[in-house]
Structure formats: structure tokens, C-alpha cells
Amino acid sequence: MTNHAVVRIAQPSGTLTITVPAAVSLGAAFPGSSISRQLGEVQVSDRRGGQNAVWTATVSASDFTTPGGGAARQISRNQLSYWSGQATRTIGPGTRVPGQATSAQAQSLSLPRKAFAKTSGNGNNTTAWQPTLTVAVPATAVGGTYTGTVTHSVA
């Protein structure tokens, strides 16, 4: 006689998601000056429900450009600074750590940066913050409407 055994491996049923405002207008600035604005609420929702449900949110940016091309029509992402600030809302257990807690810790978006992290804790959780972006407008910039992309991701 043969015994037959079955083992069922459960997969986490939830998801890890990040939501951001669709678009933000930073306002106007003169060449050689800077402008700083909050980007709106960024929120991570972790519905994986597992043990040690940790995550890291990352921020990156493209160059900002205005039609016409050329260096005078581009604001390099090196001129963009980001700071996450403290969490504005948390739900669920765990330790949350801002990437840049204060404006003094703002970092250039010349490369991707940690925006926020959950470093410990089990179960479903939500974390929100209101990041600030500062754009240093080059003195050689020409007038126009510059557009670019700031991307948040979570893993």
C-alpha cells in the first residue's frame, strides 16, 4: 500500500503598491534662482500580511526640458534636490525610516535615492509622506515651461 501526501504552499495574497499624485506644478522661477514645492502625498500600502514585511521606496528623476533642445533648455536632474520629511500617516506595526528627514538632508536626484523604508514589523501596513522637490534653475536657462518626471517605486 502506498501513502500519498499533499503539501500546499501558501503564497501571500496581498500586494505592495505605491501611489503618487498624477501631476504637480512647481510654479515659476527666474534663471539663477531656485524653487521648492511639496509634491503631494506619496503612499505605500503593504497588504502582503507576512512576517517581517519590509520594503524600500526609491525616488528618481529625469532631466527637465522645454521644447527646442540644447543645454539652455534643460535642467539636469543634478539640479533637483529631494527630501521626504517625516511620515505624515502610518497604519499598522513596524518601524518606518525617512530617506531624508529634514531639508538639511535633501539629496540630489542625480541618481536614485531612498525615499522611505519600513525596516521591521509584521502584518499589513500603510505609510504616507509629503516629499519636497527643489529645482535650482541654471543662470543660462531660457524662458519656457519645463517638464520632467519624478518616479517613486517600492520593493
Q: Write the pLDDT tens digit of every residue in 121-149.
A: 989 999 999 999 999 999 999 999 999 99
Domain count, the chain: 1
pLDDT at site 6: 53
Distances (CA, A) of 117 to 13, 46, 148, 149, 154: 21, 12, 25, 22, 9
Q: Residue holding cell 506619496?
A: 42
Residue 26 in any domain: the answer is no
pLDDT confidence tier of residue 120, bands split at 50, 70 and 90: very high
- Residue 3 within any structural domain of the chain: no
The answer to whether residue 84 scores a pLDDT higher than 70 is yes
- 122 close to 51: Cβ distance less than 8 angstroms: yes
Helix (H) and strand (E) counts in the chain: 0, 14
Distance CA(31)–CA(41), nearest Å, equals 28
Residue 108 lies in a domain: yes
Q: What is the mean pLDDT of the chain?
A: 91
| Boundaries of domain holding 110 | 16-21+31-154
